[in-house]
Chain A
Amino acid sequence: MNLAMPSGTGSGLTEASKYGTFKNGRVRMNADPHPAKPVQHMRRNPPIEGEAEAISRAQAGDARAFETLYALHKRRVYSLCLRMLGNVAEAEDLTQEAFLQLYRKIGTFRGDSAFSTWLHRLAVNVVLMHLRKKGLPQVSLEETLEPSQDDGPRKDIGERDLMLSGSLDRVALERAVENLPPGYRLVFVLHDVEGYEHNEIAEMLDCSIGNSKSQLHKARMKLRDLLRSGERKESLV
Chain B
Amino acid sequence: MSSCRNEQDRETMNCAEFQEKLPELFESGVDVSKDPHVKSCENCAALVRDLEYIASQAKLLLPIHDPSPKVWENIQSAIRGDEGNKEPVGASKRL
Please give the residue numbers on chain A whose beta carbons come within 8 Å of chain B beta carbons, in ascending order: 34, 37-38, 40, 44, 58, 61-64, 66-67, 70, 74-76, 78-79, 82-83, 91-92, 95-96, 99-100, 103-104, 155-160, 162-164, 166, 168, 170, 173-174, 177, 188, 192-195, 198, 213-214, 216-217, 220-221, 223-224, 227
Contacts and interface: CB of A to CB of B under 8 A. Distances in A.
Contact of A75 (B27, B43, B66, B68): B66
For the complex, would chain B's binding face be called helix, strand, loop or mixed by DSSP majority? helix
B51 A224 contact: yes
Counting chain B residues whose Cβ lies within 8 A of the other chain, the interface size class is 35 or more
A62 B16 contact: no
Interface in B26-78: 26-29, 42-44, 46-47, 49-51, 53-55, 57-68, 70-72, 74-75, 78
A62 B24 contact: no
Contact of A156 (B19, B62, B67): B19
B64 A162 contact: no
Given A61-B95, A66-B95, A74-B66, A220 B55 contact: yes
B38 to A, nearest CB: 13
Contacts, number: 141
A39 B41 CA distance: 29
A159 B46 CA distance: 10
A79 B63 contact: yes
Contact of B67 (A64, A91, A164, A224): A91
Contacts of A92: 67-68, 70-71
A38 to B, nearest CB: 8
B66 A63 contact: no
Given A192-B55, A224-B47, 13 more contacts: A75-B63, A75-B64, A96-B71, A156-B44, A157-B15, A173-B61, A193-B59, A194-B62, A214-B23, A216-B23, A220-B51, A220-B54, A227-B54
A44 B75 CA distance: 28
B58 A103 contact: no
